Amino acid sequence: MCGIVGAVGTDDVARAVFEGLERLEYRGYDSAGLALCVEEASGATLEVMKAASAGTSLSELKDRIGTSERRRVRAGIGHTRWATHGAPVLVNAHPHTDCSGRVAIVHNGIIENFRTLRSALVEAGHRFRSETDSEVIAHLLEDALRGAPPDVALASVFAQLSGHMAVVALLADHPDLILAVRRTSPLMAARGRGIEFVASDVPAVLHRATQFFEVPEDEVVVIGGGSADMVAARGLDDLPSPAIDWRSQDVELGGFASFYEMELAFGAEALAQTITSLVDEHGGALMDELALDPYELKRIRKVVVVGAGTSFHAGLVGRFAIEHFARVPVEVDVASEYRYRDPIVDEGTLVIAVSQSGESLDTIVALREAQAAGARAISVTNVVGSQLARIADGVLYTRAGPEVSVASTKTHLAQIAALHLLGLWLGELRGVLFPDEASQRRRELTEVVGAVASVIDARGAIAAALEPLTVRERFFFIGRHVALPVAMEGALKLKELSYLPAEAYAAGELKHGPIAMLDSDAVVIALIPQDRLRAKALGNLEEVKARGAHVVAVCAGEPGRVAELADTVIEVPAVSPLLFPLVGVVPLQVLAGSVATARGLNLDRPRNLAKTVTVE
Ligand code: AGP
């Protein structure tokens, strides 16, 4: 969850580390800190700066870093924290140092055996300053460095740590390098002009890097690194180098008040880029990147989709398309639950892991579990070279560009499109769909981009129509069939950004209990595609209206009687029912942003959340 960045080189390293921190704030805003290796005539020392003041940590650091910039700094590391072990206070902020102050580390993940390690270190005379699990690494490294070169020392320390994590170390005795190692948790390396980087996320260094590198698991990688006698570490040139085509302006707020609003505004572009990369000009499938044997996929007897949060909701939408087009049974599971239900998996199972970041630990673990049981695995992810992209048998990239906002918007649209296209392709492979029909459906998806753009363009008017809701405090989202996951996503967005109670229900399920909660304070938001279930949706509107709830309908096409029953109607284009989620979710994204803004909340810093959840 925490953000990590490190830099080594002749360029302005202190500034580069700080810029990385600014770009990693979405990883955790409990505290921020950095350590710089400052070279002076008397030798090198580590200068550590930390701040843990709500909302102002980075500006505090910026003032302090100004003075360090003028000194000779060739290596530095930084960290933004999402607290797990130890309160979000200054003493627990990273980097953590050893007793001598000559070793500094930053860490992301959880050290499951840290209590045992800490007790042994305390007994051996080490003095701890924080309550974190992370600090043990600095002290272990202090001891290990006495008898081994830095890379061997870090490797031996890392072997003692249980759990999934990434660690980056800075050593005063080796001022021209930093060391990095990871297990499951994200870490990539990069190179720019006169500078090398390591970072938990691409956006941290996108503006300076020209080449990216994958950091392998359980192997120490040296960044920079002239002087030390490395025995086992790999340098950047030994690592795979994926092509990353993200633009640095996509991680800068070009006139928007927040990344949330900016990324919402770019939803249609994200959708279009994803579709263009997966569909050729004749409506044919472009699935080469999937790199899976089509004959193998043809024999699939069951599909299981796993994901978390917004990605899970995309999976729920995708189930309708895959079952409809490919006529293969689809299960969809919350990734964190999947492995614990002792799932029935065999060689006839295709597991699809959906994840924007490609780094959600729950989703990684679910995919690995299924693979171990014999399943073939595809990941649908937005991040080239991410963990899920690497461990799956095949990968389908969404091309939404970098997503910085903690609350996802544009990538959700791209995920739905990718799963829709996967369903069509499986349908073709399995002989359920004629190629012409599949191409026709692909063209239909391409045409929906314009419809989505029209809803996004109308976001000002939608926000104005929904303005009366910004003072409301209790929300229910309802939908049937493919509109149910849209309702779930709407409720999640509102909860994430405004912290208000918001629940989603299958519209037909409401009368089996939840309707008891409805009164005139409740807002019910009904998602209504233009499909064969319209009459049922109208029945549900009657029910909630009769209980005095304030009713908002997000309705595809001509509202007709919906307009008589709802207090507010947001009309979206009448698209084919399976594609309704693409147009239906946008007003809900707008609503969540408006309610949170009206409540004075920062859309890019939702309470208690971090962009990528790398702990179980
Ligand atoms: C989305 O708004 C949320 N921040 C969250 O639910 C997110 O979708 C979830 O953590 C999964 O992330 P991933 O797609 O990167 O795996």
Question: Read out DSSP for 167-214?
Answer: EEEEETT-TTEEEEEEESS--EEEEETTEEEEESSGGGTTTTEEEEEE
**Best CA proximity match to 184, nearest among 150, 219, 217:** 217
Q: Which pLDDT belongs to residue 227? A: 57
* 274 Cβ below 6 A of ligand 1: no
pLDDT band at 70 (very low <50, low <70, confident <90, very high): low
How far, in Å, is the centroid of ligand 1 from the Cα of 481?
Answer: 22
Q: Which pLDDT belongs to residue 69? A: 57
Reported as a single tens digit per residue, the pLDDT across 51-68 is 887 666 677 777 777 655
Pick from 317, 356, 494, 588 the residue to mutate for probing ligand 1's pocket: most ligand atoms within 8 Å of its CB.
356
Amino acid at 401: G
In words, the CATH class of domain 259-457 is: alpha beta
2, 50, 495, 555: the active-site residue? 2
How far, in Å, is the centroid of ligand 1 from the Cα of 392?
Answer: 19
50, 410, 495, 611: the active-site residue? 611
- Main-chain phi, psi angles of 455, to 5 degrees: -70, -40
Global pTM exceeds 0.75: yes
* 200 Cβ below 6 A of ligand 1: no
Give dist(CA 344, CA 108) in Å, integer: 33
Q: Which pLDDT belongs to residue 396? A: 96
Pick from 82, 263, 360, 387 the residue to mutate for probing ligand 1's pocket: most ligand atoms within 8 Å of its CB.
360
Q: What would the CATH number be for the domain defined by 459-598?
A: 3.40.50.10490
Q: Which pLDDT belongs to residue 610? A: 83
* 604 Cβ below 6 A of ligand 1: no
Pick from 355, 359, 383, 408 the residue to mutate for probing ligand 1's pocket: most ligand atoms within 8 Å of its CB.
408
Cβ neighbourhood burial of 281 (10 Å; 0-12, 13-18, 19+): exposed
pLDDT at residue 596 tops 90: yes
Average of pLDDT values for 561-585?
A: 96
* 308 Cβ below 6 A of ligand 1: yes
| Atom from ligand 1 closest to the CA of residue 415 | 14
| Atom from ligand 1 closest to the CA of residue 606 | 4
| Atom from ligand 1 closest to the CA of residue 310 | 8
pLDDT at residue 229 tops 70: no
Q: Which pLDDT belongs to residue 62? A: 78
- Domain extent listing, the chain: 3-244, 259-457, 459-598
CA end-to-end span of the chain = 11
611 is catalytic: yes
* 488 Cβ below 6 A of ligand 1: no
Distance set, CA 387 to CA 97, 211, 382, 613 (Å): 29, 18, 11, 13
How far, in Å, is the centroid of ligand 1 from the Cα of 97?
Answer: 32
The one-character DSSP state at 445 is H
Fold of 3-244: Glutamine Phosphoribosylpyrophosphate, subunit 1, domain 1 (3.60.20)
pLDDT band at 147 (very low <50, low <70, confident <90, very high): confident
Would you state the structure tokens that stand for residue 300, as one six-digit string?
Answer: 């699939």
* 336 Cβ below 6 A of ligand 1: no
Q: Which pLDDT belongs to residue 558? A: 92
Beta-carbon count within 10 A of 175 CB: 24
How far, in Å, is the centroid of ligand 1 from the Cα of 163?
Answer: 21
pLDDT at residue 219 tops 90: yes
Q: Same CATH fold, 259-457 and 3-244?
A: no
Average of pLDDT values for 321-325?
A: 98
| Atom from ligand 1 closest to the CA of residue 496 | 2
Question: Where do runs of H (alpha helix) occur along 385-530?
Answer: 387-391, 410-429, 435-457, 459-465, 483-498
pLDDT band at 294 (very low <50, low <70, confident <90, very high): confident
| Atom from ligand 1 closest to the CA of residue 409 | 2
* 309 Cβ below 6 A of ligand 1: yes
The one-character DSSP state at 608 is T
Distance set, CA 20 to CA 101, 184, 238, 364 (Å): 23, 21, 24, 26
Reported as a single tens digit per residue, the pLDDT across 187-216 is 999 999 999 999 999 989 999 999 999 999
* 386 Cβ below 6 A of ligand 1: no
Reported as a single tens digit per residue, the pLDDT across 28-55 is 778 889 999 998 888 999 999 998 876 6
* 184 Cβ below 6 A of ligand 1: no
